[in-house]
Structure 1
Amino acid sequence: MTTRFTTAFAVLIAAAGSFAARGADASTGAVLIVANEDYASLRDARGARGVVQAEGTFRASGFDVDVATDLGTDALRAALSQLGATLRAGDAQRVIIVFSGYAINAAHGIWLMGTEARAPDFATIESYGVRLETLLALAGQIQGGAVVAIADYGFPVTPGNGFQPGLPGTIDVPQGVTLVHGTGAGVAAFLRDMAAPGTNLGAAASRRSDLEIDGFNPPYLSFLPADWQPAVDAERQAWGSAVDADSVEGYDAYLATYPNGTYAAQAQEARQRLLNTPERIEAALGLSRDERRAIQRDLTILGYDPRGIDGIFGRGTRSAVGAWQGANRFEQTGFLNRDQVFELAQQGARRAAQLESEARERQREQERLDRAFWRDTGSGADEAGMRAYLDRYPDGIFASIAQDRLDQIESQRRAAAQARDRAAWDQAQQADTVLAYRAYLQDFPQGAFADQANTRIEELRRPREPQVDTAAAQAEEDAMHLPAFSKQIIEQRLDRLGLEPGAVDGTFDRQTRRAIRRYQRSADLPVTGYLTPSIVARLMAEGMVDILR
């Protein structure tokens, strides 16, 4: 802790000593507490609102207290201007200015940041924060009875441009003003202690290793005299402030000052009412990003679309939660409690197991039909049988074998074919029309490619199957930005199902795409070879079940 005190302030002590002589019916002083925790573009300064609990303590000591949270720069200036008007009116014997939040310093100044703050430069800094010297100058209007307390939360990003996070090591403080700065917890404790009659500021600060005190700090002067008696209705005022705020923090502030007060039971009841809102109940669960993703997967598996499995509970997820709650006779709040999280997980696990069982049964039946057709078409012994097999089962169990053998036959046929025959066949393939293949057969009725020409004519005459929009399917999969470890879990699941996805390496190749198409057929889904959010949810859920077995 750093403490500075010079004899130049001795002239102020006599004036400060007159505090004890002032009547108890006068206002103790003015207090402004600004707590900036919720920043629009920066990570929140979590815990910054802790200083607000000092409100009740100061009111109990007779101070007029103004509390403001999450102020932008202009609003912060307006609050300081209003305090300045109060001080100019001459009603305040003492002034306490408290700021809790982010701060930045540079060679030419120190700024306390409004909630719209971003990483500044010299051109924008004044629009993002208020200079500390403004607070010190304002407090300096009541020399010897002025305290400025700063709960310094630093700055959450590296500011650059010559700026440094937080307060600097050395701060110039005007005559007659006490500056206390440090951690949020330290400043909150200091504020609580300093409001007690007979407390010396330096002694209160020295009890905390996370505080520093600069400026006016006489070793033998109490901020409030030991015999100070605040107004009789201080508790009523504290209760009125708590009721006006109607917040957990407001009732906590009242109870911290009056744990056995007249309105303690009402404060506890009101506080519990606020804590029992669906939003707070869910927030108290402290769900991690992964736990939120698991909830979204369960909703997807159960048929409630959360519009993404990203761990962010937006309107889509809230709507899905509400629909699930309604279907299960819960109040449709869109927010979950602990029992509902467990119930949802159990339902998701049961549905995942059911889908897995159905998929396995379909796969077994498809494999039985696959093997039977392979056997009926000659088990790969003749070209026509293999082509018939591939026509029905392009991704079948024996597809690789059939294709390899046909490739060999094609290679042998092309090698044996005469140049004219081959040229005519290539020309027919390039045109790929019924007329082109008929022309080839007319010229080469016994040609090396006659069987293929007849097969292709039949294919062209056959009604076309609906074309899959491969580009759209690929774009839908790409939009999920699946990480490598998720792809590996999916490949492991496909491999466990016997769908032969190839190497389990987090990279989707031709074998993986074929395995996905096999899975889609077994699950009675559109066959594209690309993943959708619902398929990912099922495969991930089934994959996690495999891992936990």
Structure 2
Amino acid sequence: MVRTMLSSAFAAALMIAPVQAQDVGDIVGGIARQYLQQEHDRAAFAQAQNANTLSAYQSYLRQFPNGMYAEQARDRVQRLGGTPATGSQPVGDTASLSAQQRAEIQRRLSALGYSTSGVDGNFGPGTRRAIALWQRDRNYAQTGTLSGAQANEILRGTASGQPGSGATGAAQTEAALSLSRQQRATIQAGLTRRGFDTRGVDGVFGRGTRNAIAAWQRANDFSATGYLTAQQVQRLTAR
């Protein structure tokens, strides 16, 4: 379906004269981003319908206050006896974020092990891949673009979906270590040798690695936060 839409968009763009190749790419790219955002909207509402609870519909409205199904969600909230949640407008392609906020998101993603290939406030292919991986590990639709709620989640440093308690402070402690990708891969190898499967040795600390770290911490009487201290890094990298 995506291919059909993009093919139609490309053909329509070529009929507009004069159109430069870059303009065509911008048109098609914009349509693709719009389609992905609509799919994210549709998936979020379907999830709310499956749960059919007050909190589920309010969660949808926080992400998509002006979404395709916002009126239906507000109706369900009222029928369930609640007040429609208010929230920030989804940023979609992060158009409403300042350059400083974009750079901060890149820094936080990199600190969590999702390399953005630079911290420049520009969401290029490297950042899009990092966002998609971050979304994957939190069971969000892998669009590579952030909703308002997701941007806030990263900027606030929350750690939903991560193991252990007190993970936010622990994440900041690990981030301060400024581990390189090679160091992260060495840590993953150390965990694997000790019998804690990280689901790959690639230098990216996704959910598999976080769960492995938490399991190793529990086995060694540490607080199972899923994030490492300098002492724990030293232990895992020692042979």
State the TM-score, normalized to the length of structure 1: 0.16
Write 1 or 2 for the structure with the bigger share of strand: 1
Larger Rg: 1
- TM-score of the pair, normalised by structure 2: 0.34
Question: Which structure has more RCO (C-alpha within 8 Å, separation ≥ 6)?
Answer: 2
